[in-house]
Each structure stands twice: as structure tokens, then as C-alpha cells.
Structure 1
Amino acid sequence: MDPLRIGELLMTIAIRAAIAADKEACIELLQDFATATGEDLSAAAGDVFDNLLQTGNGEILVAEDDGELLGLVSLTYTPVMRFGAEYCRIEELVVDPSRRGEEVGARLVEGAIGRARGRGCAEIGTDLLERAAQHREFHARLGFDSIGTALRRPVD
């Protein structure tokens, strides 16, 4: 754990893999985020949490300070033929609103990059929604380049 100085406050933030005991706190963070953005959190979010912890197709990293969960980043890994390796995708990056501005999100992304590198991924990426364009500078500071527009559609 590296100490992080915010103003006069010195704190130690640990980035670690989520465990089953983190489920409730992670779901609460996601629910707060969904509420703030006007979205609905799927009732199956807890099942997806379990799946990410068990299958190896992805994982969740959490930021913790003295036992308090500060944020999370969820990752998925997809084999990509043109890369000849996996692609790591940041699916969710959520920081407790009371802890924003303390570099928690940056530490989580750095942890995700380290995991992707250790797994042999060719790239790591994420989507930045139009309504979250204010986060473009945050991602650019961490080395992310804008490469285009994401296209999606429901499958049902």
C-alpha cells in the first residue's frame, strides 16, 4: 500500500481483488451511481458480481482505506483474434462521491492496467458516454486515447 497525501491528510489506499464479502458494498456503490445518473441497476447485478469473481472472464478490483470501500473497477477479458491476445475492458469505474478528488479512480485504473498487463492483454479500454464527457481529461491523463464512437443495440 502506498501512502497518498491529500492536503494535510495522509491516507493509505489499497487496491485489491474483490472478495465475496465485498458484494454488498459494491452493489451499494453501483446503486448510488445508477441513481445519480438516472439509470436502473439490474436486479441481477449481484449475480454478475459472483460470476466475475468465479469464472476468470473478468474481475473486480476495489479501493480500500482502513477497511472502508472507496470505489471499484470491474473488468472483462475478451480474446481478440486480430490482437492474438485478450482485450481488457473497463466496464464500471465507481468512486464514492465523498472520496472523489482523492485520486481513488486513478489508482483503480492503474490497478486495472497492471492486471491487464500481467494477464498478457494487448490493450485496455473503456467507453465514455456522451453525458460523461467531463471525464475525458481524467482518462487522457491516464494515457487513454479517443478512437471513435461506440455503437450498441439491444439484442432482445
Structure 2
Amino acid sequence: MIRPARETDAEALAPLLAQLGYPFGSAELAPALAELLSDPAHHVLVAEDDGEVVGFVNANFRPQLHHLAPVGTIDELVVDEARRGRRIGERLVEAVLDEGRRRGADVVEVTTHERRERARAFYRRCGFEATSTKLVYPLR
């Protein structure tokens, strides 16, 4: 089941983020999640299996002048390692695409680290196309 995230989901999201190499505790995550949930531009969903959170996606939709419409961005998506291959990630992506259509978005974008080859293959299977290169300037 896919549902909107709640502030109380921070405890379940922490171990999922740790699987990606971001080991935050739920106490650190809770205020960040609360901030996302209070921002109407963000769309944060969780996937549940028998009442247990097994994945989540954090997307946002913001207007951009060069599109003259909102552009959706998938900022984070993770499915528990033990539950991958069951179309949970695909259902989360489909839910974001549906929300993008509802909001009149022009496109939905996603960035993956160059070392995450499986993630890029996953997004290609979902219909995403490689169209640009992202450059990053670290501030800290």
C-alpha cells in the first residue's frame, strides 16, 4: 500500500536511508521530515507491507520558467533491500508521476550518483531518459 508519509514515519525511514549510506537517527530525521511534510511543494509517500514501512519516495514540484510549468524532482527513493524486486519502487515512481500529472507538471526528473548503476537501470526501466549532466559545488 502506498500512502502519504506522516511525521511518525521518521523512525521507519532512518534504517532505509542507512541502507543508502546515510546513517541518520530518527531524532535527527524527524525535524527534516516535518519540514518536508509542511511544504505543499513536497510529496512524500511511503510503501507499506503488512503495516511495516518498506520504502519511501520524496519528490517536489516547483515552477520553472524554462518549462512554464512545474517540474517534478524525485529527491530520494529507497526500498528495503530485502523487498527489492517486488515492484514497490515502481509503484512509488508511478505515484509520483500521477501526482505530477495532477499538478500539471511538464516533466519529472531524478538524479542518481554515478556509482549507483542499479538505480540508473531502475529509472530507465520506469521510462526515464538520460538527458543532462549534473554539476555539484560542495558548500561543506
Using the size of structure 1 for normalisation, the TM-score is: 0.81
2:51 matches 1:67 = yes
**Residues 24 and 105 of structure 1: is their aligned pair in 2 closer, same or farther, counting only changes over 3 Å?**
same
1:28 Cα shift?
Answer: 2.4
Mark the structure with the bigger radius of gyration: 1
- CA distances 1:55-112 after superposition (whole Å, capped 9, x unpaired): 2121211111220111001112221011111111001111111101111111111111
| Structure 1 contact 27–46 (Cα < 8 Å) conserved | no
Work out the percentage of aligned pairs sharing the same amino acid.
36
Give 1:84's aligned amino acid. Answer: L
Q: Which of 26, 37, 51 in structure 1 is aligned with 2:13?
A: 26
Q: Which of 106, 122, 126 in structure 2 is aligned with 1:122?
A: 106
Match of 1:6? none
Between the aligned partners of 1:97 and 1:82, the Cα distance in structure 2 is: 37
- CA distances 1:31-76 after superposition (whole Å, capped 9, x unpaired): 2322xxxx55498533221111112121211111220111001112
| Structure 2 contact 17–23 (Cα < 8 Å) conserved | no
- CA distances 1:4-30 after superposition (whole Å, capped 9, x unpaired): xxxxxxxxxx11111122121012211
State the SS of the aligned residue for 1:24.
helix
Give 1:28's aligned amino acid. Answer: P
Using the size of structure 2 for normalisation, the TM-score is: 0.89
1:139 Cα shift?
Answer: 1.0
* Alignment: residue pair count: 139
Q: Which of 48, 59, 63 in structure 2 is aligned with 1:79?
A: 63
2:25 matches 1:46 = no
| Structure 1 contact 29–95 (Cα < 8 Å) conserved | yes
Between the aligned partners of 2:35 and 2:100, the Cα distance in structure 1 is: 18
The 5 Å alignment of 1:101-116 reads: 101-116=85-100
